[in-house]
Amino acid sequence: MCFGKGSEVTACRICGNLEGNTPYIARELHLGLGEEFEYFECALCGCLQIHEIPLDLSKYYPDNYYSYEPAAPTVEFSRQGLGGYKQRLVLSLLTKYYFGNKSALGNWLAKRSALSRDYPLWVRQQRLDLKLNARSSILDVGCGKGRALLDLRAYGFTDLIGIDPFLEADVFYDNGVKVYKKSVDELDQQFDFIMLHHSFEHMPDQLPTLAKLRDLLKPNGYLLLRVPVVNSYQWRKYGLHWAGLDAPRHLYLHTRKSLECLAGQAGFRIAEVVFDSDGFTDWASKQYLAGISLLDPRSYGISPSASIFSPEDIEDFAAQAAELNAKGEADCAGFYLRHE
């Protein structure tokens, strides 16, 4: 691949390496602004990071940015309503299996019940005993309006809190889910489980943030970081048109090696990695190559019928993502970090 060269790079902010780092010039493609930003890829840990963090990132998060759209559960049984004692019992057993202690009955249901398909890959593919129950305290950091929390509420969890400093105001749902306009530095209580769904890559202070999250996590608890992964098939294929790059919003694009380095410095270890790409970055990257932003009227995300893709194309992207997930070569992954 041929990339534009940026100016002389600084030391990697993850591992401190100064030697052999590769500079790039990336453009803002999500909104179609086309502004250029300098990035560099660390030769030691592989982290791709922005050279200089913009002083004001707010202009790149407009009011219609997807994270701040009204939230609703994405699980099918929640949208349609879950009726009947047997269905509720199966849901309870599946939730205990995925989030609590593994059991033979839960494993059997996970393989055979249609309800299991309403749990995302980051839940279904992890093999850990998270030891969570309906009353466990769960925090979602950088949660937008709280869509992931609403899904967890549908699974049966009741103590759910989200924070996002860029919200206009706090959001309180009738089902008890609470989302606050706060940053992690404003919290002092501890939680049984903390999750960040594609928000960590937006955070400037990686190590201080991760260290603070460790303080907020109870001993032996787990922290989930779902992030784009740079040492992936999609990065190699699309290069600077890779939708996972998302300059300048994504300040850090990690590899497993760079996250291992960062986690160790913060007092965590990586206990599990689940690859969970869904095909989005493939069609979005191909749109970028065709000069179509995500907000363009021709974008598949705006008008599927006006897009350059057929329904079969979208199915192919999803199928390819599933294959890459199985091989560990996909561009999105969930890293479960254990509080040591």
The answer to the question of residue 186 being in a domain is yes
**What's the alpha-carbon Rg for the chain, to the nearest Å?**
20
Complete DSSP assignment for 280-305: HHHHHHHHHHTT--TTSTT-TTT-GG
Separation between Cα atoms, residue 202 and residue 76, nearest integer Å:
29
The answer to the question of residue 106 being in a domain is no
The tokens for 52 are 């200089």
Q: How many other C-beta atoms are found inside a 10 Å radius of the C-beta of residue 42? A: 27
pLDDT (average), residues 319-339? 97
Please state the domain count of the chain: 1
From residue 11, give the alpha-carbon distance in Å to each of 21, 36, 48, 52.
Answer: 8, 21, 12, 12
Determine which helix (DSSP H) or strand (DSSP E) holds 237, and give its type and residue range.
helix 233-238
* This prediction's pTM: 0.93
pLDDT class of 79 with cuts at 50, 70, 90 = low
The answer to the question of residue 252 being in a domain is yes
Half-sphere exposure of 334 (CA within 13 A, CB side): 21
**pLDDT at residue 333 is higher than 50:** yes
Let me know the angle formed at the C-alpha of 330 by 291 and 25, rounded to the nearest 5 degrees.
Answer: 45
Torsion of Cα atoms, 205 then 206 then 210 then 211, to 10° = -60
**Checking DSSP bridges between strand 48-50 and strand 252-253, what pairing results, if any?**
antiparallel
The answer to the question of residue 161 being in a domain is yes
pLDDT (average), residues 82-88? 75
Separation between Cα atoms, residue 240 and residue 246, nearest integer Å:
9
**pLDDT at residue 211 is higher than 90:** yes
The answer to the question of residue 81 being in a domain is no
Beta bridge partners of 137: 159
The tokens for 178 are 């609470």
For 145-203, what is each residue's pLDDT tens digit? Answer: 999 999 999 999 999 999 999 898 999 999 999 999 999 999 999 999 999 999 999 99
* Residue-level pLDDT at 86: 81
Choice among 57-66, 89-98, 102-111, 318-327 with the minimum mean pLDDT: 57-66
The answer to the question of residue 240 being in a domain is yes
Separation between Cα atoms, residue 238 and residue 97, nearest integer Å:
38
* Residue-level pLDDT at 67: 67
Separation between Cα atoms, residue 201 and residue 185, nearest integer Å:
17
For 307-328, what is each residue's pLDDT tens digit? Answer: 999 999 999 999 999 999 999 9
Q: How many other C-beta atoms are found inside a 10 Å radius of the C-beta of residue 16? A: 11
The tokens for 153 are 């509420």
Separation between Cα atoms, residue 228 and residue 254, nearest integer Å:
7
CATH of the domain at 65: 3.40.50.150
**pLDDT at residue 66 is higher than 80:** no
Let me know the angle formed at the C-alpha of 260 by 258 and 265, rounded to the nearest 5 degrees.
Answer: 100
Handedness of CA 44, 50, 52, 58 (dihedral sign): negative
Share of the chain above pLDDT 90, in %: 83
Complete DSSP assignment for 306-331: GSS--HHHHHHHHHHHHHHHHHT--S
- Give the residue numbers spanning the domain of 136: 22-75+119-339
The answer to the question of residue 103 being in a domain is no
Choice among 11-20, 70-79, 126-135 with the minimum mean pLDDT: 70-79
The answer to the question of residue 271 being in a domain is yes
pLDDT class of 1 with cuts at 50, 70, 90 = very low
Instruction: Give me the phi and psi of 25, to 5 degrees please.
Output: -115, 115
